[in-house]
Amino acid sequence: MIDARTVLYAVLGNPVGHSLSPVMHNRAFAHVGLNAVYVAFETADIGAALDGIRALGIGGASVTIPHKEEAVALVDRLDEEARRIGAVNTVVNRGGELTGYNTDGRGAVMALSEHLDVSGREAALIGAGGAARAIGFALAAAGARVTVFNRGEARGRALAEDLGAAFQPLARFDAARCEVLINTTPVGMAPRGGETPVDIEGLPASAVVMDIVYNPLETELLRRARRRGCTVISGVSMFVFQGALQFERWTGRRAPVGVMRQAVMDVLNKNI
């Protein structure tokens, strides 16, 4: 029941009509019995939206494209991980003071950690955008040996330098040396659903392959990797774990990860 004591949470972005965060978080709130509701606010003005959170006493928010980088300078306090990444995807409101966090990278590592310990592993990171940056910092912190592969050399080298990682042009990707492969690019998502970001011929069956794209559930990259006998991880896992970390930041309660995953899968399976 929504009443005067209901705590409001939101996702801020443009666009957000496709977001599965409301389904996921509202199912989680209901499961643990919290008097809270999560809604989507489409906004082109992240500064005004954050002021609204302060003014209205909204408990917190997810921040998504295109506002993650801009939000860094607009919160009152910034978590060290978010500062290093240079992006905020989570805002917590405590008495009108907004603290910015980033749960994307750790969400990805948690998804991988269901299948292997990344420490000491050779991890190939495809792409050099915001998602790659967040995941790269988390992988490096977890002890992985990261190599950034990117089509644009300047951007790829800059990210690798920030991470203390190696860089290789995308054309020099060698699947045979790969233990962990993570695609952070939109290749595999419509309208490029039949494409893969790299050729995985020679990829060992022992490799773990993750794609941050979660719609479709199985991208062409994951389909080909599965055929090779590899362990594959869809973008749903990262999405759920980053959301679970947000839930715990906001509420101080342990996130019902299984319930959150099922909420997302229910929607995606309905849309197949």
Catalytic (active-site) positions: 68
First to last CA, the chain: 32
- The contacts found for 77-82 with CB under 8 angstroms, 24 or more apart, are 81/105, 81/106, 81/137
Nearest CA among 27, 110, 16, 120 for reference residue 66? 16
Q: Are strands 166-169 and 180-183 parallel, antiparallel or unpaired?
A: unpaired
Handedness of CA 135, 92, 34, 55 (dihedral sign): negative
Based on the number of CB atoms within 10 Å of its own CB, is 268 exposed (0-12), middle (13-18) or buried (19 or more)? middle
Angstrom distance (rounded) from CA 136 to CA 157: 13
Angstrom distance (rounded) from CA 99 to CA 5: 22
Question: CA-CA distances (angstroms) from residue 222 to 114, 217, 262?
Answer: 17, 9, 20
Angstrom distance (rounded) from CA 204 to CA 139: 21
Nearest CA among 244, 238, 240, 251 for reference residue 9? 251
DSSP 8-state class, residue 6: P
Angstrom distance (rounded) from CA 100 to CA 80: 9
